[in-house]
Amino acid sequence: WYQRRVRGQHQKQLIGIIIIMATINIGELLSASIDLAQQAGKLIKDIYFSGDLKIQIKGYTENGVEDPLTQADLKSQQHIVSGLQNRWKDLPIVGEEQVEIPRTDLMPRIDIVPQEKVPDHFKQVPLEDVVVFIDPLDATREFTKGHVHCVITLIGISVKGKPVAGVMYQPFVEPPRTIWGLVGLGVEGIHQKSERDCEGLIIITTASHNNEKVDRAIKKVEHEKLIRAGGAGYKALQIIENNADLYLFPTDGCKLWDTCAPQAILNALGGVLTDSHGREILYFQDSDVHVRDGVVASMKNHEHFIRQINS
Q: Which residues are catalytic?
A: 73, 140
CA–CA distances in Å: residue 144 to residues 47, 60, 218: 11, 15, 28
Bridge partners, 169 (sequence order): 153, 178
The residue type at 255: K
Burial of 130 (0-12, 13-18, 19+ CB in 10 A): buried
Most distant CA atoms of the chain, gap in Å: 67
Report d(CA 101, CA 225) in Å as an integer: 44
Q: Which of 112, 40, 140, 144 is nearest to 83 (CA)?
A: 40
Residues in the chain, total: 311
**DSSP 3-state assignment of 112?**
coil
Core vs surface per residue 221-254: b (16+ CB within 10 A) or e? bebeeeeebbbbbbbbbbbbebbbbbbbbbbbbb
